[in-house]
Amino acid sequence: MYPAAEKRFIKINRLTIIVLFMVIAAGGIVRSTGSGMGCPDWPKCFNQVIPPTHVSQLPEGYEQQYIDGRQKKNNRFAKLVEFFGYPEKADQIRHDESILVHEEFNAAKTWTEYINRVVGVIAGFFLLFTAIFSFAYSKSKPSIVVWSVLNLIFVIIQAWLGSIVVSTNLMPWIITVHMLLALIIVGVSIYTFFLATTLRDSSILVNYSYKGVKALAILALIVLLIQVVFGTEVREAIDHLNDEGLARSSWIASIGESLKWHRILAYITVLLSVLLFFLVKNRFSPATIQSKYAWIVMVLVVLQMAIGIILTEFNVPAFAQTSHLILASLLFGAQYYLMLLLSKLKRTA
């Protein structure tokens, strides 16, 4: 059914999506273990391709060297932020002395961050191959080429932003932008996969037309994305509370408005997901991919709510923080793919 070149693209695109979720998982582990500054420089780690395992292997005088380098990079970044109309953010970057605080060497944190970077590099190569193989569609579906190349540009920006995350000593709002861009990259990869698989296989799409399902799927995705934004604010607040040395048992009570809105949006997400599930169940055969993904979304929503309860009731355990982030990214991917499947239905005569 598919020409060999298109099969190759679909295969590498599918693997790319899997690797991208692995990158998000690795990033979640880094944040929950506080390993973000395990490597004080970028792209190398302590100016080494293979990072050190003991303090005796550290470069002499590296502390001041990296602080000076970060300060220069931050000044350049502040100018860019100011250029885009955020003078207060730029001023924060220039004058926040905590950015330049040196973190003591910890081999476990160093290797956790290093593995995160290795997975990121692997994802970069997969996106490169995806862009190269996409040219098989230059005549039949040129939009696949455009989006694949654009996604490669996104991942280059993401790599640069990763260096800024390090140079600003994990400034919270930059980490949030880093996370949201990761979801955009995942979304583009899912979109190109959808375009490629539906180009020649019409059985993926079903001959029903029901605008209500499509509209509900779009609304559910929008609410989920807003919830993710509030979730990143909750995570920023937790990072701040942790830096202040407050006990985990007091974190939930100290977070404030962002947690309240995150919870409200979580309830709305559950409601919309349940409603969407029953609409799809009633309109589509259980054997259709739409029905299968409706089930996947429901399972992920239930798991996400369970992890949310664990976070609240058991003082924000680290494993639950990582699980919450991974499930959120998987839920976004499943919701987005389901929306695509529902928004491309063939109309009956």
**Where is average pLDDT lowest: 122-126, 244-248, 257-261?**
244-248
Question: Are both 180 and 209 inside the same structural domain?
Answer: no
Q: What string of DSSP letters covers 92-145?
A: HHHH-GGGGPPPPP-HHHHHHHHHHHHHHHHHHHHHHHHHHHGGGGTTT-HHHH
More confident residue, 101 or 237: 237
Q: What is the mean pLDDT of residues 71-93?
A: 83
How many separate domains does the chain show? 2
Q: Is the pTM of this model over 0.85?
A: yes
Question: Are both 16 and 122 inside the same structural domain?
Answer: yes
Instruction: Return the pLDDT at 335.
Output: 96
Last residue of a domain, one of 203, 231, 250: 203
Instruction: Return the pLDDT at 139.
Output: 92
Question: Are both 115 and 147 inside the same structural domain?
Answer: yes
Question: Are both 62 and 85 inside the same structural domain?
Answer: yes
DSSP-assigned letter for residue 240: H
Domain interval for residue 23:
1-203
- 126's CB contacts (< 8 A; 6+ apart) are 12, 15, 16, 19, 20
Q: What is the mean pLDDT of residues 147-152?
A: 97
Measured CA to CA, the distance from residue 130 to residue 145 in angstroms comes to 9
Q: Quick one: pLDDT band at residue 88, thresholds 50, 70, 90?
A: confident
Instruction: Return the pLDDT at 276.
Output: 94
Q: What is the mean pLDDT of residues 304-318?
A: 90
- The letter for the amino acid at 287 is A
Question: Are both 148 and 218 inside the same structural domain?
Answer: no
Q: Is the pLDDT of residue 348 over 60?
A: no
Alpha helices (H) in the chain, listed in sequence order? 4-32, 62-83, 87-95, 107-133, 142-167, 172-200, 211-243, 251-254, 257-283, 289-313, 318-343
Q: Is the pLDDT of residue 258 over 70?
A: yes
- Residue 208: which H helix or E strand, with range? none
Question: Are both 174 and 39 inside the same structural domain?
Answer: yes
Instruction: Return the pLDDT at 170.
Output: 64
Question: Are both 105 and 194 inside the same structural domain?
Answer: yes
Question: Are both 33 and 71 inside the same structural domain?
Answer: yes
Answer for the pair 325, 31: CB distance below 8 angstroms, yes or no: yes
Instruction: Return the pLDDT at 349.
Output: 34
Question: Are both 227 and 170 inside the same structural domain?
Answer: no
More confident residue, 334 or 33: 334
Last residue of a domain, one of 168, 203, 238: 203
Measured CA to CA, the distance from residue 45 to residue 56 in angstroms comes to 15
Measured CA to CA, the distance from residue 221 to residue 227 in angstroms comes to 10
More confident residue, 35 or 303: 303
Instruction: Return the pLDDT at 210.
Output: 65
Answer for the pair 200, 13: CB distance below 8 angstroms, yes or no: no
Percent of the chain residues topping a pLDDT of 70: 94
Q: What is the mean pLDDT of residues 51-78?
A: 81
Q: How far apart are the first and last CA of the chain?
A: 26
Taken in order 35, 40, 42, 46, the sign of the CA dihedral is negative
Instruction: Return the pLDDT at 332.
Output: 96
More confident residue, 271 or 31: 271
The CATH number assigned to the domain holding 297 equals 1.20.120
Answer for the pair 335, 220: CB distance below 8 angstroms, yes or no: yes
Instruction: Return the pLDDT at 208.
Output: 56
Answer for the pair 127, 181: CB distance below 8 angstroms, yes or no: no
Mean pLDDT, rounded, of the chain? 87
Q: Quick one: pLDDT band at residue 209, thresholds 50, 70, 90?
A: low
Q: What is the mean pLDDT of residues 243-271?
A: 87
How open is the CA angle 338-222-182, to the nearest 5 degrees?
A: 80
Question: Are both 116 and 214 inside the same structural domain?
Answer: no
Q: Is the pLDDT of residue 98 over 80?
A: no
Answer for the pair 341, 328: CB distance below 8 angstroms, yes or no: no
Instruction: Return the pLDDT at 204.
Output: 74
Q: What is the mean pLDDT of residues 95-121?
A: 84
**Where is average pLDDT lowest: 24-33, 211-220, 234-243?**
234-243
Question: Are both 194 and 216 inside the same structural domain?
Answer: no
- Residue 37: which H helix or E strand, with range? none
Last residue of a domain, one of 155, 186, 203: 203
Q: How far is CA 53 from CA 30, 60, 104, 313, in A?
A: 17, 15, 13, 36
Q: What is the tens place of the pLDDT at every residue in 319-332?
A: 888 899 899 999 99
Question: Are both 12 and 133 inside the same structural domain?
Answer: yes
Adjacent-strand bridge partners of 48: 45
Instruction: Return the pLDDT at 347.
Output: 44
Cis before 43? omega within 30 = yes
